[in-house]
Structure 1
Amino acid sequence: MKTIRRLIYGEVLAAIALVALGFLALFFFFDLVDELQYLGKSSGINAADIYQIRHALLYVGLLIPNHLYELLPISVLIGTIFVMARLAQSSEYTILRTSGLGPWRALKLLLVLGALFVVFSFAIGDYVAPASERAAQLLKARYQNKITIGQTGAWLKEKQAYNTYVVNVKTLSPDNEMQGVQVFEFNNKGLVVSTTQAPLATFAAGDAWLLHKAVRAEFEVPTGFASASKPHDSAKVSRTTLETFRWPTEISAEMVSVALLKPERMGTIDLFNYVRHLDANGQTAQRYEIEFWKKVFYPLSCLVMVILALPFAYLHFRSGGIAGYVFAGVMIGISFFLLNNVFGYIGNLRNWMPWLAAATPGLLYMAVSLGAFGWLVLRR
């Protein structure tokens, strides 16, 4: 049995590595072509900081761990299908079956291999990919002078003892400085108490922000302002310009960077903490909850893929017919990747339970794989 395990594991690992390498080379080429448009550009702050080909190569290289995380289940499926189909075509798998490799034992062998890829996928997606993605964004920001999302940047909300604050940060510089900061303060009645705008803000010690060259407007609303008995009362507005304004807040640099990055590029713990922050401040967290559960369930899809690949070992192949089954494996992998993304968007639009929206693609393919295993392996 040890010899059989060594044979199957060696073949499958080599095939998965080859498939993953091919996909990564393809994505590396596409990303590099996309970066060519930025060559020769600089942030404008330092003319010596020009975006060169070596920077583009480094940036594209830092994106590889995230691509590997996304492509690993597909690579596991295609590599395992190729090995199982090739063993069946050459009648090697028939010899292994006569040597005592029954369906359940073969399934157990592949599930152990799939579990290893689950651990590997979790490590890549939760530790390596977020760190490399952050490094890539900081590298790009050095030459574009910003990290931003959309046209308006990131919006955050915080409830404090008496008032509620809504904060807008347009961009984050490579030096961890926030640019285009706006702070809106509301009282417990929902009325605007003050607004503070600053072109630059930094993180200060002791849970606070330092807003530089801040323009602060404070609104004083008279009692009964909205009543019909005092129609001529008006709010008083006082404006002040401050060289530095210290705003106490628990919104940390990590939360700002998380808000400016795509949620699928975050780690599981970062997503969990950010969801808790949104819930505590009465903000909708549906999108981030779905991404959190996708982070939890996505590595488990490697188990689904090895189960789906096992029935290919029990098919009968004609000469040269293996290419068609490998192509079918490619289509199945691509459909899983697309369905996984589509269900995330549908779950967000339809307000589904986050764990259900994230787990449904895996459950569907698990049912298909178990059905194929029962029909092609056990009943035949």
Structure 2
Amino acid sequence: MKTIRRLIYVEVLRAVAFVSLGFLCLFFFFDFVDELQAISRQRVFGYGVPQALLYVSLLVPSHLYELLPITVLIGTIFVMARFAQSSEYTILRTSGLGPWRALRTLLMLGLGFVLLTFAVGDYLAPASDRAAQLLKTRYQGAWAMTGNTGAWLREKQGEMSYAVNVASMERDGTLKNVRIFAFDGRGFVASQTTSLLARIGDGRWTLYGVEQETYDTADANQAHVERSTQPELQWPSTLTNDMVSVALLRPDRMSTIDLFEYTRHLDANGQTTQRYAIEFWRKVFYPLSCLVMVVLALPFAYLHFRQSGITSYVFGGVMIGISFFLLNNVFGYIGNLREWWPWLTAAAPGMIYSVLSLGAFGWLVLRR
């Protein structure tokens, strides 16, 4: 059995590596084409072809994380179908490779892909994304923003609550265009503070170029607004640099630990956590989809098509992989809108395809 396992593992790893390389080259080309406009706009700032090539190269781990379950499915289907076409799998069956032993063999291989997907998505991809953003910062001057309004954070201090808006972050951690809205215990706006620059220290923010408006609404008949400007202002806050940088990132680009801690921070401050909770559970369940894919590919080894090619079966594997990717995204959007349980929203696509794969295994392998 050791020789049989080595044969299957080597062939599947080789096929998955080849398919992954093909997809990554395709995405690399698309990303580079998108960067051609940035090259033409920022050539005067030193952003040229070498910098664009380095930038799109740093995006490769993120694409690899997204593609791994699909490439595992396509590569495994190709190997299993080729074994069936050449009658190699028939020989393996006569050598003692029964259905359950074959399933166990592929599940062990799938477990390796699960660990690889988790490592790439939780360590390599976030680090490379941050490096890509820092590279862009050298030539654009600011870190990526979350939408057109920047990142929003919230904090409570006694009866007062604060809504903080940060437009962008420099590569040295300096915050740009900061707005702080203070609310009193009644929920009314007490003050608005705007700052051109800010730096985060231990337990406080240092604001530079401050304009502050204080709203006195205690007496409705004598309500008034006081305006003041200060070159520098110290604002006590528990918001750290890591929290701001996490808020500026897209949720799908965060690591699992960052998502968990940021979700707890949002929940502690009374903010909605649905979007980030769904992304957290997707980070947990997404690597496990590799197990589903290898189980889904096993029935292809029991098909009989000695005279026909395997192109149609590989194409079917591509369609199944694309449908899984689309279903995963659709469930995320619907779960966010309908406020479904985050863990169920993230696990539903894998559960559906698990039922399909086990059903195909039972029908094609065990019953036939």
TM-score, normalised relative to structure 1: 0.94
How far apart in 2 are the matches of 1:283 and 1:207?
A: 21
1:279 offset after TM fit, Å?
Answer: 0.4
2:195 aligned to 195, 198, 216, which one? 198
How far apart in 2 are the matches of 1:222 and 1:357?
A: 46
How far apart in 2 are the matches of 1:173 and 1:41?
A: 20
Matched residues, number: 367
SS of the residue corresponding to residue 39 of structure 1 reads helix
Say whether 1:16 aligns with 2:16.
yes
How far apart in 2 are the matches of 1:74 and 1:260?
A: 29
Cα pair 1:80 1:309 within 8 Å, conserved: yes
1:311 aligned to 279, 299, 302, which one? 299
2:271 aligned to 283, 302, 305, which one? 283
Alignment of 1:213-292 (within 5 A): 213-223=209-219, 225=220, 233-292=221-280
SS of the residue corresponding to residue 289 of structure 2 reads helix
Which residue in the other structure is 2:38 paired with?
38
Which residue in the other structure is 1:186 paired with?
183
How far apart in 1 are the matches of 2:287 and 2:31?
A: 24
1:120 aligned to 116, 120, 138, which one? 116
RMSD: 1.2
Which residue in the other structure is 1:327 paired with?
315
Cα pair 1:41 1:50 within 8 Å, conserved: no
Alignment gaps of 5+ in structure 1: 226-232
Residue-by-residue CA offset, 1:139-162 (whole Å, 9 max, x unaligned): 112212222122111111111123
How far apart in 1 are the matches of 2:29 and 2:364?
A: 39
How far apart in 2 are the matches of 1:112 and 1:151?
A: 45
Say whether 1:76 aligns with 2:72.
yes
Which residue in the other structure is 1:129 paired with?
125
Say whether 1:25 aligns with 2:25.
yes
Alignment of 1:99-114 (within 5 A): 99-114=95-110
How far apart in 1 are the matches of 2:46 and 2:38?
A: 10
How far apart in 1 are the matches of 2:40 and 2:232?
A: 36
Which residue in the other structure is 1:5 paired with?
5
Cα pair 2:146 2:249 within 8 Å, conserved: yes
1:220 offset after TM fit, Å?
Answer: 2.3
Which amino acid is 2:54 matched to? L
Which residue in the other structure is 1:229 paired with?
none
1:260 offset after TM fit, Å?
Answer: 1.3
Alignment gaps of 5+ in structure 2: none
Alignment of 1:366-377 (within 5 A): 366-377=354-365
Which amino acid is 1:163 matched to? M
How far apart in 1 are the matches of 2:165 and 2:262?
A: 16
Say whether 1:352 aligns with 2:340.
yes
Cα pair 2:86 2:306 within 8 Å, conserved: no
Say whether 1:155 aligns with 2:152.
yes
Residue-by-residue CA offset, 1:18-77 (whole Å, 9 max, x unaligned): 00010100000000010011114449xxx6x42111110111011010100000000100
Which amino acid is 2:226 matched to? S
How far apart in 1 are the matches of 2:229 and 2:355?
A: 64
1:236 offset after TM fit, Å?
Answer: 3.1
Which amino acid is 1:344 matched to? G
Residue-by-residue CA offset, 1:312-352 (whole Å, 9 max, x unaligned): 00000133421100000000001001110110000001110
Which residue in the other structure is 1:230 paired with?
none
Cα pair 1:41 1:143 within 8 Å, conserved: no
Which residue in the other structure is 2:47 paired with?
51
Cα pair 1:314 1:376 within 8 Å, conserved: yes
Which residue in the other structure is 2:162 paired with?
165
Q: Which moved more, 1:13-22 or 1:188-197?
A: 188-197
Residue-by-residue CA offset, 1:230-252 (whole Å, 9 max, x unaligned): xxx12232222111111111111
Which residue in the other structure is 2:61 paired with?
65
Which amino acid is 2:21 matched to? L
How far apart in 2 are the matches of 1:6 and 1:222?
A: 78
